[in-house]
A and B are shown apart, each in its own frame.
Chain A
Amino acid sequence: MKTNIKLSAICIFAIFYLFVTSCSNEDEGDTVKPAINLIEPGDGNILKIGSDIHFEMELSDDRMLKSYKVNIHSNFDGHTHSRSVEQTIDFYFNKSWDVSGKNISIHHHEIFIPENATPGNYHMMVYCTDIAGNESYVARNVVLSHEGEEYDH
């Protein structure tokens, strides 16, 4: 059964060759996503119209953080919401901040909800990238209301 021995040799050779190619060039590229720990606001939180948002989170990455972005947009039911009667404007917020470092804490009150903002359900999205382009994001459902809770800062 010489042929079988030869065959085994071929199999071994083929696999060995693969083994070598796969191990020789280790992946140096970064595929690890940054981590977002969004502390405030929490999911379902009511945010008071006419005040700023207490925004607090921790960001971390294995190599280097690059930027984060906060986006708040309305999540009204597109069919029942009428735009004509109310003298309010749907609140929209979109801003990014550049950051650097591996572990950082963020705490600010830069997001302000104006008096004329339409109350209702909104989505809050927080995105974060590292310098290699790895991206994470967190989504929160928030409610904008005139009877919002006041936070202790």
Chain B
Amino acid sequence: MRAKIILAMLLFVSGLSVYAQVLDSTMVVELEDVTVTGFSFKTASKHNSALSIDVIEKEFLKEHFRGNLMQTLEHAPGVRSMDIGSGFSKPMIRGMGFNRVSVTENGIKQEGQQWGGDHGLEIDAFNIERVIIRKGPSSLLYGSDAMGGVIEISQTPPPYKNQIFGDLTLMCKSVNEYMGGSINLGIKKDAWYSKLRYSEQHFGDYRIPTDTIVYLTQRIPINNRRLKNTAGLERNVNIYTEYREGRYYSNYAISNAYQKVGFFPGAHGIPDISRVQNDGNNHNIELPYSNVNHFKLTSRQQYTWDELVGSWDVGYQNNHREEWSLFHTHYGTQSPPENNPNKELEFNLNTFSSSMKLRTIKFSSWEYRGGWDVQYQQNRIDGYSFLLPTYNRFTTGLFSFINKRLSNHLLLSGGLRYDYGYIDITEYKDSYLKEYLQTSGYENDMIEEYEWRSYAVKRNFGDFSGSLGIVWSFKDMHLLKTNIGHSFRLPGANELAANGVHHGTFRHEHGNPALNSERGWQLDASYEYDHKNIRISVNPFVNWFSNYIYLKPSGEWSVLPHAGQIYSYTEHKAFFAGTELSFGVDLFLGLDYSFVGEYVYTYNLDERTPLSFSPPASMRNTLKWKNNQRQLYVELHGIAPQKRVSKNEDPTKGVNIINLGGNITLPIGKSMTYIGLSLQNLLNTKYYNHLSFYRKIEIPEPGRNFQLLIKIPFKSKL
């Protein structure tokens, strides 16, 4: 099957490029007057990095807006969204997710509970203006965790003239009776540029195209085809100010993202039909649910000298996550806590970050960059259950990076970085578990082994990362890059010291305090062609990890209730390879065809099995018609079956989904109002997403969805 897909992709691409040649010669005259292009931010970014880069700008974001950043970015090649129900997702780049991908906003790395399968990205999707996706080893510039790539969120430059501006955005979706809105007000006055945004989203239980799901051999009814208790809400505030006076520049951003979302009760615990009965309300959020608040404060100070640009970014983040679930215990002596008896888990993570950078602007052919990053993290826990211990973590890194322009067409870039990390994990002893094991008749040495849910672990890590790459551009239409990088990642607190049953995965996850930092060699290449009416991009890559950290089934039974065998964090050799392929052609009469495909191959060299969460091959074929301010499109999204699974992961069938959409920009009053209507999953096809948190409990993806997006911008001169 895999071979078939590759063959299909191959035929598609080679077939179409032949077809395009014919069109090319006939279209030259008509297209002559559209070839006015400046050296845009997009082009500049692409030409300045040896890594493969995608720049996502306003138009793309608006066109693919879903109220959720990752579901929007998923339309870019190589990027996948790991979903938790209909509302929350986290990024995956080239088969790497969780702690192997970094998300940064205004220069500061977003910190949350990235490692958890049921945790989304806590960022206001309405507030995104520009995103750069860096694929491949990025730990040189972004530190630990960026080995798979970086999603870099940044601000667009302020308008040139003094003005008051803003927009009102409204969105509705049918699949979960979603209503969302966002209001933005801003002012540009001389050196000052400020923006305030408030967004709110409410949604009900989402619809799935099935009446029953089969979980653990039990048939669970889905009343009215709606997945009970998946309703939620999101409320975000963002304030941003920047000041620019001569050589001095600074910005200040404050944001708060709040999310409350229910979990399908069938996904927590043994399937029990009584818990999935219809409660007659599709908008209530009952137990179990999660409550997440992410507060962030960032600031940049920057000064430009004659030969140097120096900047200093600082940030403070508080990630407060709570999991609420009706008090349950298997330990006879444990009674519900007096305060918040149903609070199962709480993580309160404080992160302080600082990043200093210097860049030379003296030489036209050389560019030196140097930087110093520091981060300090504190995690505190609460709740009647235990998963992750209290810890403090300190990391710091120094890097130096050089871009050398050999000629107008050739750029050489390379750099080196050293990171140091320290982690101090607090021990945790579970007296209820001890008594439980005693009454269950276990031996003393066994009890001693288990009563420590976490040991005191103090570890130091030190690691080099580096990269060397070349960028060759020719006649502004060919861009060829290749890069080799060595990257690393510090093991997370969960990988070092977790010890408990994860309520979502039902696995007894066991950390290993002796783990080394994860290291890998990553080679990638990129070729882009953009000329006249044809755009082509091919981005193959190969990664080899000497010690890829993953949860390995140990074969030993856990004594914890509701757990099967113990899963231990283990280091193994791993291999990744794959490619993204995209192709686009402007046809005639305003028609545009585009193809985006990707394939990732993963392999655990020690176990001789694939790795878990390997993204299945996928391709999107889109035919678009554009005329002035009107646009219509039809998209065929094909997802190949994923049979390459790791142990205890189920294969997922392939599917073809049809999406339709259109948008129009109308002058209403003084404002150019944008109205977008789209229809996802036209045929209401029942399918599974291999990367979804709900996949393992056999919950299909949301059904047919109508979406309406209205965006009313306004501005007034000052």
Contacts and interface: CB of A to CB of B under 8 A. Distances in A.
A67 interface: yes
A96 B555 contact: no
Interface in B6-28: 6, 9-10, 13-14, 17-18, 20-21, 24-25
Interface in B605-643: 607-610
Contact of A135 (B440, B577, B648): B648
Interface residues of A, number: 51
Interface in A98-153: 123, 125, 127, 129, 131-135, 137-139, 141
Interface in A1-47: 1, 3-4, 7-8, 10-12, 14-15, 17-19, 21-23, 25, 27-31, 33, 43
A83 B333 CA distance: 10
A25 B328 CA distance: 47
A14 B217 CA distance: 43
Query: Which secondary structure dominates chain A's binding surface?
Result: mixed
Contacts, number: 142
Interface in B556-590: 557, 559, 561-562, 564-565, 577-579, 581
B14 A11 contact: yes
A144 to B, nearest CB: 16
A29 B609 CA distance: 5
Contacts of B240: none
Interface residues on B, range: 35 or more
A17 B13 contact: no
Contact of B440 (A19, A30, A92): A92
A91 to B, nearest CB: 11
Interface string B509-536: 0000000000000000001010100101
B498 to A, nearest CB: 18
Contacts of B531: 3
Contacts of A4: 17-18, 20-21, 24, 534
Contact of B332 (A43, A67, A90): A90
Given A11-B581, A14-B540, A133-B554, A22 B601 contact: yes
A137 B610 contact: no
A28 B606 CA distance: 11
Interface in A34-90: 43, 66-67, 69, 71, 73-75, 78-79, 83, 90
Contacts of B336: 78-79
Contact of B648 (A17, A69, A73, A134): A134
B548 to A, nearest CB: 15
B538 interface: yes
Contacts of B603: 25, 27
Contacts of A18: 6, 540, 577-579, 599, 601
A30 B10 CA distance: 30
A66 B440 CA distance: 24
Contacts of B327: 78-79
A92 B331 CA distance: 11
Contact of B557 (A8, A29, A96, A134): A96
Given A12-B14, A14-B538, A134-B647, A67 B608 contact: no
Given A31-B609, A71-B561, A73-B330, A22 B555 contact: no
A43 B270 CA distance: 13
A21 to B, nearest CB: 5
Interface of B: 2-3, 6, 9-10, 13-14, 17-18, 20-21, 24-25, 216-218, 270-272, 326-330, 332, 336, 440, 478, 527, 529, 531, 534, 536, 538, 540, 542, 552-555, 557, 559, 561-562, 564-565, 577-579, 581, 599, 601, 603-604, 607-610, 644-649
Q: Which 10 pairs show the lowest CB-CB distances between chains A and B?
A: A29-B609, A133-B553, A29-B608, A127-B564, A1-B21, A28-B608, A14-B540, A133-B555, A139-B270, A8-B14
30 contacts: A1-B24, A4-B17, A8-B17, A11-B10, A11-B14, A11-B536, A14-B579, A15-B579, A18-B577, A19-B3, A21-B542, A22-B2, A27-B610, A27-B644, A29-B609, A30-B609, A31-B609, A67-B557, A73-B330, A78-B327, A78-B329, A79-B326, A94-B559, A129-B564, A133-B552, A133-B553, A133-B648, A134-B553, A138-B216, A139-B216
